[in-house]
């Protein structure tokens, strides 16, 4: 047999093995630790092996058990960062996408994959009330934000041909996600020109300051490229007043981009919280967060694909589209920074069709309800305090039973202990200089009993840490 070939029987045996292991993993999630007992040394010793010159055959698959044992699993008590828990139906879509190995560059490269991605994009836009928006699936929210700012810069301060000629500025609140600072740097706009606008007590952007800062910059000769709003800040889930930010952007002729990577998909369940989403020129969202898709599934929606083409169309002869048909001549690479693109829509298409939008709405509603329940439990505990309003599903709080000057260090030690205990996994945030414990519930497996363990585990970890230091 030629190298790298597999008979259908061999493939079936291997696929069955992976399926059996995956089924066991999913069945075990309920009882698994929220974080594996492992160390840097242990995983390096396990996985840092010599490059195999001859094939190990099925023995390579035997080590998948070890991979599971040293991965952070998608248990019902995982509430760190902003990350969905991975829908197994979507995972099968990912698997099938890799078997088909489509390169979703353009219609002629993969007719069905292009049609499915365009259809899924249309579903997402509709579900968010952004009818008529089009867009592309991306690796994640960071990639979507980078593309959005590239489009905005080319629309407001064209630089593709001759480089940046004038000074341009971008506006966002101090709570904006770090991906914006990265994008501004990569686009040559410069982080000095990312104006961080102060927030109100509820962590939303202060509109008066925003307007004043833009006016001052315009007077000083800067071109306002884009005004950004968060539809769910990464720290606390605060939603900027989208309608007011849209009005300011319009007043100053700036692009209006919404970073909805964390929160925008919750508009499926609670649309009123997101009034103004449809006013965006571009909107980032992350199905691998609040549509529970396996990682590598972000999305950028935009009102006018002409702007995306202005930013990204740059076609070599080898990719020239020779077809006149409006559907068959479509090329994602003319609206995206990527040429080779994974068939990301496969998982979303299967997952949305299998479960239906009502089930996703119910799962998101459940996350929102659980976050409110957790906030109530924290408010009822004399040793704990909430540090921010719970607008979506991020709950920021801290243990308070120590002198104020010790609280930051103490809560950092408590977080470390919570993770070591392995029952729940939460992360942290810094709010006005205060170290916050942060539980972000974007987990279709979570129940009320699960989130209550955030409270019991925090108190248990605090007792241990305080006992050890006394």
Q: Which residues bind ligand PLP (CB under 6 A)?
A: 82, 140-142, 145, 177, 179, 230, 232, 234, 259, 261-262, 286, 298
If phi over 0 gives left and psi between -120 and 50 gives alpha, with beta otherwise, what is residue 53?
Answer: alpha
CA 408, 410, 413, 419 torsion-angle sign: negative
Q: Which is nearer to ligand PLP, 229 or 249 (CB)?
A: 229
Smallest gap from residue 261 Cβ to ligand PLP (A) = 3
Smallest gap from residue 304 Cβ to ligand PLP (A) = 22
Q: Which is nearer to ligand PLP, 110 or 179 (CB)?
A: 179
Q: Which is nearer to ligand PLP, 81 or 95 (CB)?
A: 81
Q: Which is nearer to ligand PLP, 230 or 391 (CB)?
A: 230
**Shortest CA distance to 410 belongs to which of 453, 376, 458?**
458
Q: Which is nearer to ligand PLP, 87 or 286 (CB)?
A: 286
Q: Which is nearer to ligand PLP, 109 or 393 (CB)?
A: 393
Smallest gap from residue 463 Cβ to ligand PLP (A) = 31
Smallest gap from residue 203 Cβ to ligand PLP (A) = 12
Instruction: Tell me the C-alpha to C-alpha distance, in Å, between residue 230 and each of 151, 227, 235, 343.
Output: 18, 10, 11, 28
Based on C-alpha coordinates, what's the Rg of the chain? 24
Q: How many CB atoms lie within 10 A of CB 149?
A: 27
Smallest gap from residue 116 Cβ to ligand PLP (A) = 21
Smallest gap from residue 172 Cβ to ligand PLP (A) = 11
CA 232, 444, 29, 448 torsion-angle sign: positive
Q: Which is nearer to ligand PLP, 175 or 334 (CB)?
A: 175
CA distance 77 to 443: 8
Smallest gap from residue 43 Cβ to ligand PLP (A) = 22
Q: Which is nearer to ligand PLP, 262 or 399 (CB)?
A: 262
**Shortest CA distance to 58 belongs to which of 18, 2, 94, 96?**
18
CA distance 326 to 363: 38
End-to-end CA distance of the chain: 69
Smallest gap from residue 351 Cβ to ligand PLP (A) = 17
Smallest gap from residue 323 Cβ to ligand PLP (A) = 33
Q: Which is nearer to ligand PLP, 99 or 186 (CB)?
A: 186
Q: Which is nearer to ligand PLP, 117 or 175 (CB)?
A: 175
Q: Which two tokens stand for residue 239?
A: 């939603």
Smallest gap from residue 300 Cβ to ligand PLP (A) = 11
Q: Which is nearer to ligand PLP, 187 or 462 (CB)?
A: 187
Q: Which two tokens stand for residue 303?
A: 């009102």
CA distance 234 to 249: 22
Smallest gap from residue 467 Cβ to ligand PLP (A) = 35
At residue 413, φ and ψ (nearest 5 deg) are -65, -35
């Amino acid at each position: 047999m030629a190298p790298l070939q597999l008979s259908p029987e061999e493939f079936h045996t291997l696929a069955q093995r992976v399926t059996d292991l995956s089924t066991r993993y999913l069945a075990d999630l309920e009882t698994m630790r929220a974080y594996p007992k492992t160390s840097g040394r242990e995983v390096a010793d396990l996985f840092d092996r010599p490059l195999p010159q001859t094939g190990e055959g099925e023995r390579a698959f035997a080590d998948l058990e070890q991979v599971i044992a040293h991965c952070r699993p998608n248990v019902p008590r995982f509430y760190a960062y902003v990350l969905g828990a991975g829908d197994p139906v979507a995972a099968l879509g990912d698997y099938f996408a890799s078997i088909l190995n489509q390169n979703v560059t353009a219609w002629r490269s993969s007719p069905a994959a292009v049609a499915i991605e365009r259809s899924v994009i249309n579903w997402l836009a509709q579900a968010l009330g952004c009818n008529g928006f089009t867009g592309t699936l991306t690796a994640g929210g960071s990639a979507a934000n980078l593309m959005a700012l590239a489009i905005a810069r080319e629309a407001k301060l064209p630089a593709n041909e001759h480089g940046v000629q004038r000074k341009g500025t971008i506006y966002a609140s101090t709570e904006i996600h770090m991906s914006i600072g990265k994008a501004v740097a990569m686009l040559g706009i410069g982080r000095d020109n990312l104006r961080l606008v102060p927030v109100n007590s509820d962590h939303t952007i202060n509109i008066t300051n925003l307007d004043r800062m833009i006016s001052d910059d315009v007077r000083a000769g800067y071109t306002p490229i884009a005004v950004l709003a968060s539809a769910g800040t990464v720290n606390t889930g605060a939603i900027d007043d989208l309608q007011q930010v849209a009005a300011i952007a319009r007043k100053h002729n700036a692009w209006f981009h919404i970073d909805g990577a964390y929160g925008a998909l919750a508009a499926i369940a609670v649309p009123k919280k997101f009034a103004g989403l449809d006013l965006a020129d571009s909107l980032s969202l992350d199905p691998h967060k609040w549509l529970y898709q396996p990682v590598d599934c972000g999305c950028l929606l935009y009102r006018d694909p002409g702007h995306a083409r202005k930013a990204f169309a740059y076609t070599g002869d080898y990719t020239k589209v020779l077809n006149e048909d409006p559907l068959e001549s479509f090329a994602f690479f003319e609206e995206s920074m990527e040429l080779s693109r994974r068939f990301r829509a496969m998982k979303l298409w299967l997952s949305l069709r299998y479960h239906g939008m009502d089930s996703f709405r119910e799962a998101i509603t459940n996350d929102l309800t659980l976050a409110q329940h957790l906030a109530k439990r924290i408010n009822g505990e004399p040793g704990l305090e909430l540090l921010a309003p719970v607008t979506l599903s991020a709950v920021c709080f801290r243990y308070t039973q120590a002198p104020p000057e010790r609280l930051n260090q103490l809560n950092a030690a408590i977080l470390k202990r919570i993770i070591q205990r392995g029952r729940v996994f939460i992360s942290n945030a810094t709010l006005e200089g205060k170290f916050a414990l942060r539980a972000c519930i974007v987990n279709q497996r979570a129940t009320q009993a699960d989130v209550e363990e955030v409270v019991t585990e925090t108190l248990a970890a605090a007792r241990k840490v305080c006992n050890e230091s006394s």
